Structure 1
Amino acid sequence: MMTTTQRSAALFAATAAVALTLTGCAGASGGGDPTDVNPDGEITAREISWLLSRPADGGVITAMEQIAEEYAEENPGFGLNLITTPDRPSYIQKYETLAAANKLPELFDTDATPFAQKLAGQGRMVDIDLLLEDLGLDGEFREAALNYQRFDDGSLYTIPFEFQLEVFWYNADLLAEAGVEIPATLDDFAPMCEALRAQGITPIALDGQDGWPLERYMAYYPFRMAGPQYVQDLKNGEASFSDETGRAAVEWLYGLGQAGCFQEGFSSTGYADAQAQFTSGRAAVYNIGTWELGNLATEALDPAVRDAVDYFTLPTIDGAVTADNEYVTPSGIGMAVNAATYDPLVRDFLAYALERYPEVYAASGALSPTTGVETTIPDGATPLYARAVEQAETVGSAIAMPWDTQLDPATNTRLQQELTLLVQGDSTPDEFIETMDATLAENVGD
C-alpha cells in the first residue's frame, strides 16, 4: 500500500509529466479556428460531452440538464453527456491528462490558470469574447463575472455560470459579549480575536483541511495594499514574498495565528464541521461565499443563533489601493469550448443554453452571472438573503482573485502547506518567506 508521501509524489510526477507533454506540443494546432465562432454547415443532432467539476446536485448542473432536455425536444437525437468529477484535485489531473492527449470533449471546465492559457495559446479553446459578441450576449454578463474568467492579458476563453460574493459572516451577540465591533480594517482582526479568546469564544471558524480557505486570507492584504496585479506578478516571477507587499501579508497572517484567531485543530477541520461551528454559535466569524446563502440566511437556523447572524465585506487597510466594494467576487470555474470539435450544433446549443440559463438558474435562488434577471428569494429566507442579492449589483470591477486559481499546482500546494505551519506558529515569517521564494524560483515558467 502506498503511503501518503508516496501518493503525493506520484501525483506530482503525473502532473509534471502532463505539463511536459503539453509544453512539448505547444506548436500543435487544435484542429479548429478559435475565432470562427459561427461556422458554416448544417446542424446535425448528436450527443456532446461536458467534462466538469461541479456538485452533481448543484444549481449549475440542474439548470443545464433542464435546458439540455428542452433543447433535445426541439432537436431529436441531441444529448448532453455530463462527465462529472466533483473532487477538484482529481478533476484537474483528469482534465490535464486529456488535454495532453488531445482528447478533451466539446465542453470542459477550467479556471483561468497558466495551464489553460497554454491551451488557448495553442488555439485549442474558442474565443469567448467573440462568441458572446456574435450571439449578442456580450452586454448581458456582469463585468465582474467576465473579469474573473479572463487571463492576465485580458483575453476571455471561458464562460461563467455563477456569480458569488465572499463575505465574513459573524455572530453579533458573540462580538458584543467580547466588547468588540466588526473589523474596520484588516489590522483590527488580531485584536478582535484576542478579545473573543478572552471570553472563551472561538474567533473564526476555518475549514483548514481543504487548504483554499486559509489561502484566501493570504490574498487579502496584498489585494488591499497593491491590487490584483500583485498575484499576477508573483506567479510570473516579477514579485516575491519578500517584497514589502508579500511580507506584510505574511506578518499579518502570522499575527492572526499568534492571536488565536482560528479554532484549535483547524488544519484537520473539514468544510461541514467549520460551518457547523459557526451555525451552532461556537465561533464568532466565518468567511464563506453566497453559495451558502441557503444555509446561513435562513429561518431554519437555530433560533439561538439566527437573529444574531449578519455579514460584512472584506475590510480595508490604511492606504488601500482598492475600493471598499471590491473584494472576492468569483464567478466560479468556467466552461471552455473545444475549438477542435466546435461546429454548428455546439454553437446552436450554446446559443440556446446561454439565452435560457439566467432565468432557469436565478429561479433556484442563485445569483446569475448576467444582469437583467431577478433572483428568486426562497421561502424561509431571512432578510440577509435579499440584502446579499442586492449587494451583488454594487460590486466594483477589481477582484481579489483566489490564489489557488492563479498559482501553478506545485507552488500552490506548497503555499497551502506552509500557511498552516505559519499560522500554527511552527514556522516564522522569515522561514515562510525563504521557503516560498525558493518554491517560486523553482516553479515559475513550468
Structure 2
Amino acid sequence: MLIEATLLVKDPEIIKGLLDGSMKRYGSVIRWAAGTFKAGQIVRHLAETPGLTSKLMTVPFDPIVAGIDVIGHALNYHKLIGVDHKLIGIDSKLIGIDSKLIGIDSKLIGFEKTLSSVMGLSQIAAAASVLNLGISIAGFAYMGSKLNQVQKTLGHIHQSMEEGFNRVKAGLNRIDNRLDIISEQLAYLYLLVEDSHQKQKSLAKAISNLHQAMLIKEITALKAELDDRSRFPDESPRSAIKTASRVGLFLSNQAMQATPELDAEIMLNADVSIQGWAVAIATEANLLLEIGKHQEAKELLALQIPQFKQVAERWGKALINDENTYLSTAYRFTNSRFKNHIASERVERITEISPSDRTLSPDQIRRKKNYVDVEFEMSYSSAKFDQTWTHRQIAVAEYLDGLSELLARLEGLESFANLCESKGVKSSREILPGDGAEPGIYILPST
C-alpha cells in the first residue's frame, strides 16, 4: 500500500472526535461536525477489509422493530470490528492515553457507549445496506448479497400478504412477527398497509408484478456481474463496467420518473429502482478506479450524484410535507412518541435531504421542535395522530433515512476518487487494506 491504513479503533484522535461530537461519520468518510472551525471538511476516509465485508453479510440491522439500540445485532457487529465496550468507554490502559488528556470522562460517556452509535450505525437505514460502509472493491460480494436479500424480501412479503396480516393489537413491538423473515429490508411496507386489507391485496399484486418486471431483471443482471467479479477479481472488468452502466441508466430513468407519494406501491417500485441505481453507480465507479481511470470515475460520479441527490430531495420534500405546517419538518420525528423507534442519528440523516430543514440555525431548530411538541400536546392530537398515523411516520422515516445514507455514501465514493487521483495511484487497490489485513474498519488519509 502506498498509504498506510490504520484500524479505526487504534486512532485515539478519531475516537475522541466521534465521542465528543466534533467529528461525524458521513457516508464513507469522517468529517468535522457543524459548528467546528473546519465544519464539513473531510478528516479521514473509511474502508472495510474483505474479511469484515464477508462477515457483515450475515449481520442484519433491523431498521424498525428492534428499537434504536439494535442490541442483539449491534453486539455481534462490535465483535466483528474488534471493538470492546471498555475501549469505547475510553479505557486509558487499552488505548494508551490518559482520559484526562483527551478531555473525556468515561463516566459521562458510559460503558454502554458503542462505536456503532457514535458513528451513527446503531439504526442504519435498511436501504443503505446495499452499499458497503467503505469503498473497498471487496464490497462487491456484499452488494450482491444485499441485492439478493431485497429479492428474497419481496418474495417473503408477497407470501405474507397473500396469507393475510395478523392484526396489530398494541404497540409497534407487537407488529406481525413475519417481520422476522424479511431480511430487515423494506419493513416500512408493513407499516404503510397494516390498516387496510384492500391495500394489502393491492400491494401483494404489485410485488407479484414486480417480480416479473424489468426492474428485477436488471438487478439480477447486475447481481450476476457482482458475483462473477467476486469470484474472478483478476479478470478484465470491462464486461462488469458495461453491465453496471446499462443497469444504472435504466434504473436511474425509472427512479427519476416516479412521482413521490406516500403510497406503498409507488414507494416500493421507486425504492427498488433507487437501491439498484446506487449499487450500479458504486460498481461502475469502483471498477474504473481499480484500473486507474480516475478521471472517468470522477466524471461518472459528477454526473450521477447530482441526479441522485435531486431524486432524494424530491422524496424528502414530498414525504416531510404535511397539511399541518407545524409538522412539515423532519424534526417532528424528535417528539417523544417516536423516541423508542427513531434515533436522533436517523433524524439527522433525514434533514440532509430536506432543503427546508438542512439550513436551519440552532435557534430555528429549537423553535421547530417546540412547535412540534405543542402540536402533539393539543387536545385533538390523540384522535388525529393515532397509532396508524404514528406507524406511517416511522415508515416514512426509514424510507427517507435510506435515501439520505445512500446519497452520503455515494458522495464519500466521489471523495475517494479524488483521493486516488491526487495520489496518482495506478489502482485503488494500492491504498486499500489488502486481503491479509486484520478484519475491521480502517481509516485512510484525507489527502
* TM-score range normalised by the length of the shorter chain: under 0.3
Structure 1 or 2: more strand by fraction: 1
Tell me the TM-score normalized by structure 1: 0.26
Structure with the largest fraction of helix = 2
